[in-house]
Amino acid sequence: MTTKAFASTGDMSEKKTSFTEIGRDLYAFTAEGDPNTGVIIGDDSVMVVDAQATPAMAGKVIEQIRTVTDKPIKYVVLSHYHAVRVLGASAYGASEIIGSQTCRAMIQERGQEDWDSEFGRFPRLFRGHESIPGLTWPTMTFERRMTLHLGRRRVDLVRLGRAHTAGDIVAWVPDQGVMFSGDIVEYHSACYCGDGHFGDWPATLDAIAAYRPRALSPGRGDALVGEAKVQEALALTRDFVTSTYRPVAEVALGGGTLKEAMAACRAVCDPKFSSYAIYEHCLPFNVARAYDEALGLDHPRIWTADRDRAMWAALQG
């Protein structure tokens, strides 16, 4: 019998990157389902939204930025605390690293554990990990909203609600009607829900929809240009989250096992989402978190390398 590789330990294939202009002087760096990075160019400086997993990986983003501007990179914004989003921040030489207060608290609570766990799950995303100087700490934080001005260009950073994590924020550029959503929204890529809040996520998607973005850079997947494309991505993300949670909750509340919950989730989700990027990677973590939330655990348990292995063993029987 073939032993299935844990998470994405066997995924070593390089992805083709794209650098797409989604509004005037606004770009999405995407990589076929790998983590995306947003770029906002103002009159006098540049803001980067999500940093990549290592300084070496961030270097690919910087190369693309330098094809369109020589302005200094002043701000790095962290949409949330996950290692694949934040540990490359040092490469940009930014004067400020910005996140929500909850993001910073989550780095304090579980940042090192998440780094260790994610590195073990998906080593390809941590190319050049030797260059990581340590945990990334925001130098500026806010509770609900912060407005920054890059010259005449205004950028609103807003915590709309819990979704992918408790500390998620979006970046909104009103002059172009463009949003950078982090992993609250994905496009033809599975949502990672291991730190998620299934009960809150749909309302947070509603809050994004209320902005009526003309373009949106999701956490993973292609850049989305045009209101119809954005609405499609919001609908697909909502369907993924609710389709994952409902069958798992039914099993959990009925006293079933985690393995039984996985089977119930697959029955609903495999026909719709099995072709999505990182679907198999995310599924065990999503089922485990949905099971916990259904049983009343509001604050997600911390993922560690040991917990990863124990969960995988339970699901493999």
Rounded Cα distance, 279 and 251, in Å: 21
Rounded Cα distance, 133 and 294, in Å: 38
Tokens of 224: 């989305």
- Please name the helix (run of DSSP H) or strand (run of DSSP E) that holds residue 4, with its range, or none: none
Residue 183 to residues 102, 164, 204, Cα–Cα distance (Å): 16, 6, 12
pLDDT of residue 258: 95
pLDDT of residue 306: 87
Chain-wide mean pLDDT for the chain?
Answer: 94
pLDDT of residue 155: 98
pLDDT of residue 310: 87
pLDDT of residue 241: 98
Q: Which stretches of the chain drop beneath a pLDDT of 50?
A: 1-3, 7-9
299 in the Ramachandran plot: left (φ > 0), alpha (ψ -120 to 50) or beta? beta
Helix boundaries (H) for the chain: 55-65, 83-86, 101-121, 201-210, 227-253, 258-273, 279-294, 305-316
